Amino acid sequence: MHKHGFTLIELMVSLSILTLALGTLLALFTTLNLFVLVQDAKMTTDDNVQRAMVAITRELRNVAWSSVVFGGDNGTSIQYQIPTDIDGNGTPLDQDMFPELGPVRTIARDLQDLNGDGITASQLIVFDESGVRVLANGLCRDEDLNNNGRLEPGEDLNDNGALDRGVSFERVGRSIAATLSTENVPSPRTPRLRSALSQIITPRN
């Protein structure tokens, strides 16, 4: 009977193959993990901008057109009032048939941190005298540094070839063109994710 064992060379070759296999599996796992992270962040970003646009559309569809004021630099905010039955007669008209309008509401970036959560320029809110409601987080930066509505050298901060405002409202006839764009960076090893949505909203009143 002869007892055979592994030689040192065989052991080293086996360990090398095992190390290579484990390294390949680790690289595959890391890549798969990053892919899942990016896909999850992309879904979150898309969902965030879609939910915000639904809320904006619901708000602006009910405004009194005569009360709409496009504010900020090139329409980065909007103020409006919604017809409201203030005197309780069953209609948003007073006894002289004049419209009854609720408090002035504003949709804009939360630059003054009105809700006290520490998030400012990247957060979109709607607010009036009764309180503040968050519509979206992760707004793209406003790249129109000189507020002239044109993309100029030095303004394309995210290098996508477009002038991103993050949020804008524009008069189109008797309708409102609302545009919203958000961004997200899941990790330092992944690209910046962007999601944008535009909607033409025609008030009923």
99-150: pLDDT as tens digits: 888 899 999 999 899 999 999 988 999 999 999 999 988 888 877 777 767 7
Please give the C-alpha separations between residue 21 and each of 7, 13, 25, 35, 63, in angstroms, as whole numbers: 21, 12, 6, 21, 63
| Rounded Cα distance, 60 and 195, in Å | 21
| Rounded Cα distance, 99 and 64, in Å | 9
pLDDT of residue 45: 77
pLDDT of residue 153: 79
What's the one-letter identity of residue 179? T
Residue 49 CB contacts under 8 Å (≥ 6 apart), including other chains: 136, 180, 181, 182, 195, 196, 197
Tell me: pLDDT of 49 over 90. no
Closest alpha carbon to 203 in 177, 175, 165: 175
Each domain of the chain, given as residue ranges in start order, spans 9-201
Closest alpha carbon to 135 in 114, 157, 152, 155: 114
Do residues 33 and 187 make contact, with C-beta atoms less than 8 angstroms apart? Answer: no
Question: Structure pTM?
Answer: 0.74
The pair of structure tokens assigned to 183 is 């961004």
Closest alpha carbon to 137 in 116, 109, 113: 109
Tell me: pLDDT of 169 over 70. yes
Tell me: pLDDT of 20 over 60. yes
Three-state SS at 68: coil
| Rounded Cα distance, 157 and 137, in Å | 19
